């Protein structure tokens, strides 16, 4: 049986691929999850920032507007995972970013409560498939012994997004108003779309 010298150039080249995965795979996934979380929670800053007054919402309606997102979120949990397993997770998330941008921008234009409820529900639908797709993509790139660490790094988006969203939302509300809060998160989704298309890959077999 032929053996490979562990110091050979071929071995060194093969070892370079796993090292690059942690940046080229985890970083785009982490950023996508962070942006989705920001789109999800920006309403919590917009409501006390003037949205409740402008739309005439009381506490009950404000709570319903926040919670209706999760009714929509349930719709794509299982279909999203199936789509990633059978098709392209990269394309799924790319189209998701476009839909998040559009829905977020439209939310900044609402003048009626029913418009806000509709858009928040649709945003939940648009974000529902993200985590199943992300976890499926991680499973394609990382073997069992590395998958727990890879998933843990992706889930860091929760505290990371919280650290970013609070000061950013405060700055936008202080400088402009609550509508620009939604416009800015929509623009952020479109800007990241370019990075996603350039750097994300479904699996090792399709990577450049």
Q: What is the pLDDT of residues 17-76, one digit of tens each?
A: 566 777 778 888 888 988 998 888 889 889 988 899 989 888 889 888 888 988 888 876
Q: How much is the pLDDT for 3?
A: 41
| CA atoms of 25 and 2, how far apart (whole Å) | 33
Q: What is the 3-state secondary structure (H, E, C) of 70-94?
A: HHHHHHHHHHHHHHHHHCCHHHHHH
134 pLDDT above the threshold of 90: no
pLDDT level of residue 112 (50, 70, 90 thresholds): very high
Mean local confidence (pLDDT), 191-201: 87
3: exposed, middle or buried (Cβ count in 10 Å: 0-12, 13-18, 19+): exposed
Between 77 and 191, the more confident residue is 191
At 62 the three-state DSSP class reads helix
pLDDT level of residue 207 (50, 70, 90 thresholds): low
6 pLDDT above the threshold of 80: no
What ranges in 129-177 are assigned the alpha helix state H? 130-141, 144-155, 157-175
Q: How much is the pLDDT for 8?
A: 32
> Which two three-digit tokens encode residue 78?
């299982």
Between 10 and 206, the more confident residue is 206
Least confident of 60-64, 120-124, 132-136, 199-203: 199-203
Between 60 and 13, the more confident residue is 60
DSSP structure class, residue 206? G
Q: How much is the pLDDT for 81?
A: 60
State whether CATH 3.40.50.720 applies to domain 33-203.
Answer: no
Run of H or E residues at 44: helix 26-46
Least confident of 27-41, 80-94, 107-121, 170-184: 80-94
92 pLDDT above the threshold of 80: yes
88: exposed, middle or buried (Cβ count in 10 Å: 0-12, 13-18, 19+): middle
Domain boundaries along the sequence of the chain: 33-203
DSSP structure class, residue 47? I
User: 115 vs 41, 53, 109, 111, 180, CA distance in Å?
Assistant: 18, 15, 9, 7, 17
Task: Please name which of 51, 70, 36 lies closest in space to residue 110, comparing C-alpha atoms.
Answer: 51
Q: How much is the pLDDT for 5?
A: 41
114 pLDDT above the threshold of 90: yes
At 110 the three-state DSSP class reads coil
User: 23 vs 37, 60, 141, CA distance in Å?
Assistant: 21, 44, 12
């Amino acid at each position: 049986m032929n053996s490979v010298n562990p110091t050979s150039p071929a071995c060194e080249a093969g070892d370079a691929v796993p090292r690059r995965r942690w940046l080229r795979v985890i970083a785009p996934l982490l950023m996508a999850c962070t942006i989705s979380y920001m789109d999800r929670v920006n309403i919590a800053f917009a409501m006390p920032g003037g949205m409740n007054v402008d739309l005439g919402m009381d506490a009950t309606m404000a709570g319903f507007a926040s919670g209706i997102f999760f009714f929509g979120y349930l719709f794509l949990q299982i279909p999203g995972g199936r789509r990633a397993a059978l098709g392209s997770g990269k394309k799924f998330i790319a189209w998701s970013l476009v839909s998040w941008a559009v829905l977020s921008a439209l939310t900044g234009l609402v003048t009626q409560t029913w418009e806000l409820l509709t858009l928040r529900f649709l945003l939940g639908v648009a974000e529902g498939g993200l985590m199943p797709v992300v976890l499926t993509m991680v499973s394609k790139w990382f073997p069992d012994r590395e998958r727990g660490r890879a998933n843990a790094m992706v889930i860091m988006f929760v505290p990371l997004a919280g650290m970013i969203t609070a000061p950013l939302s405060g700055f936008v509300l202080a400088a402009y108003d609550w509508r620009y809060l939604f416009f800015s998160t929509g623009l952020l989704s479109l800007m990241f779309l370019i990075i996603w298309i350039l750097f994300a890959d479904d699996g090792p077999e399709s990577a450049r």
